[in-house]
Amino acid sequence: MVDGVLALLATLGALVATGLLVSRAYKDRLLYLIAWSLTLVGLSLALAAMTLGFFLGYSGPLFRVMEIGAAMIGPVWLALGMIELIARYVQVRFAAWLFAVSYTVVALVILVLDPLKASLTKSLPKPGDTYDALPLLLIDGAHVVAVIALMGCAGVTAWLASKQDREAAELLIPIALVALAGVLVVSGTRGFLPGPLAVIALGAATGLVWYGAMRTIPVYDEDDYDDEYGDDYAGDQAAGYEEQGYAAPPPPEPAPPPGAPPVSPATKRASCASPSRRPRSCASPSRPRRPRSTGPPSRSRPFPPPRPPCPASWAACPAPEAPRAPVAPTCRPPAGRSRSTRCWTAGRRRSTGSPTTW
């Protein structure tokens, strides 16, 4: 009865831990979390079978579920998740996945179909007294490979942490906990421990795997994200990318409200008289733009076309200052007289006002 109660409590705890880890693995989609979730599923099934066996008595299916879940799937996929977590070469991870999947499939078929050779009671059965040689060989091989992989991964992580490897130092404690869980799983399924201790070992292994998996999940902080990616875009504002944009279109001229008296020509001429208050509509749309002169006038350069006459409605509107045309040679003064430099400079240049003797 005590063994059954302990097994029931361990099963409930294992189911809770399995649900949490499976939901986190489904959310993060990390391969080592998927492998460890399968490990917890196997341990939970084994504990459930042990609970039923302690209360109702063991049978062939319960014994097979216990051995497949805890003795085969648990240690193999626990070691696979460890290798997937710390291995930095894709070849190593691929070889680990290939071995784990193929070994699990072959062992699963043999453990399900191989006949049992002993009768079962309410006490915890030992694999050596129930299975034949081939299933025992597969279970022993799985345990040896799992223990070597777990101890090797823990040793490599500790060595890298001693070399000031920051990632290895952060993973050292979770890997040590998971490696200890693997040792407990192997001890609880080999028949070395009595029933209550075997149940406690498997339950403790379930908790260690869950806690170690939670410690290895990266936690993203908003401040860390800003510090990591903020420097990449720090020069955008200095380069002017944030201030660039299309120029806003000029505001349309307000339309007169309905029913308002029309603007008289005198009012319009008064508003056009001041250059600072001249509206956009006062400019002459038909005035051509003269080319910029870059040198003294020459006979080969054509003169600009004459300015068109201003309409009568624009008579009071002073036109904006137009570029000056090149001065014709007829502006040469008589000999001995002075003139302004305006007479011989280009049309767009300003007069210096200083008289020059020709």
Any idea where the domains of the chain sit in the sequence? Answer: 2-217
pTM: 0.60
| pLDDT of the residue at 304 | 60
| pLDDT of the residue at 263 | 58
| pLDDT of the residue at 35 | 93
Distance CA 323, CA 300 (A): 20
Note every long-range contact of 346-353, with CB atoms under 8 Å and residues 24 or more positions apart, other chains counting.
346/293, 346/294, 346/295, 346/296, 346/297, 347/290, 347/293, 347/297, 347/323, 348/292, 348/293, 348/323, 348/324, 349/293, 349/324
Chain mean pLDDT for the chain: 75
Fold designation for 2-217: Rhopdopsin 7-helix transmembrane proteins (1.20.1070)
Characterize the bridge pairing of strands 355-357 and 338-340. Answer: antiparallel
Low-confidence ranges of the chain (pLDDT < 70): 217-358
| pLDDT of the residue at 234 | 47
Q: Which of 288, 291, 358 is nearest to 329 (CA)?
A: 358
In the three-class reduction of DSSP (H, G, I as helix; E, B as strand; rest coil), residue 294 is classed as coil
Residue at token pair 């680990």: 96
